[in-house]
Structure 1
Amino acid sequence: MVINKEGLPYVFGPGLLGAVVGHFTKRKDLLYGGLLASLACAWFFRDPDRYPPFDRELVISPADGRIVAIKKVKEEKFLEQEAYQIGIFMNVFDVHVNRAPVTGRIVKTWHEPGKFLPADKDEAFEQNEKRYFAIERLDGTPLLVVQVAGLLARRTVPFVREGDEVLASERIGMIKFGSRVDIFIPEDKARVLVNMGHKVRAGESPLVLYPWQKK
């Protein structure tokens, strides 16, 4: 099992602390507790390889989790047009590494402070802390991926910067300890392939079919 480097302090810290304290206090329960905490963190920060479908017109899921929102909105921060918003809720058992939904370029990324409401609630997207990734597909189609902090998650971690080129399914960031990721794509030609409640996998599950645009 591969562990993302962001999780290494959480993985080794509890085990080491439990071993030291348990040794000096002769309490095996502290040793075992530290080891169990380390194993739990190792599971949370696991980072398996993912393989996207070979279809450039598919927009794939940026996150593991459950579909909690599918709606048409006016996206004004980057797309500046009518768009589909698809929300994916990640619980603490899901892989929390987020991935690029298409092959393209990171046009812009920015952070927006906010609250820490439960991420599966509708108001969470509007009120919670967020990190945005504005992406342009190779054909010029704009997409917006938004990491939304939740009740337990207090930190979003970006792995890419403005101007970086990314491949579909490439790691772009993660959220620590349960949260939500939303994706916006122009509504005009999009065909949504998922329904509410569907379980999806980051880097593998198709969310939307969006025809390739001729330049």
Structure 2
Amino acid sequence: MSLMLTIANERLLLLPQKAVYWPREDMLIVADIHFGKAASFRALGVPVPAGTTTANLRALDVLLEQYGARHVLFLGDFLHARAAHAPATLAAMQAWRERHHGVRLTVVRGNHDAHAGDPPAQLGIHMVDEPHAVGPFAFCHHPDVLVPAFVMAGHVHPVYRLRSGWESLLLPCFLMAQQQLVLPSFGAFTGGHPVMPQAQERVFVTSGEAVLEVPLS
């Protein structure tokens, strides 16, 4: 179950799948998908599971089918490292792109993209630098970009620890401040950074099935 917010006079849906949907622009917004991260670790000899690229692409498939978005905007760290240019990774991405050739793709370059390099031109991805302005929003990778607009960003991979007595659970979350919304990392095998909300910040956790605001006071 998604959760609707009105931000800068625009309706936005926070999705349980760790993404945002902007109905007026028919835009799906995701952060930190980190294509090729597992391949990068395996290239270093670290025995991590395969299949994360396939999992990421299937997750995008589900959202595109559900919302019919015409535009997917990635808030940085699209590719994890140069090893993400491995033939198998690029072949999977190319096959996915051909299935969704009518969908516009935009990537706001993040710090990992700077090291990995842009994806191949045949993927048909529009590459931009932060801040990328669309309507009342500035789409960024880093949350601390100073602009006179409402910022949507990634980079942090926020998770929040819910506690009940001796029990606790870490869940991905959206972290919202007065002029900023930080998205959880969308990609498989990306981990998370526990956040401690400051005064007037809001936290929306996702269980994968529903997005709920956490009462902080």
TM, length-normalised to structure 1: 0.24
TM, length-normalised to structure 2: 0.24
Larger Rg, first or second structure (1 or 2): 1
Q: Say which structure, 1 or 2, has more relative contact order (CA 8 Å, 6+ apart).
A: 1
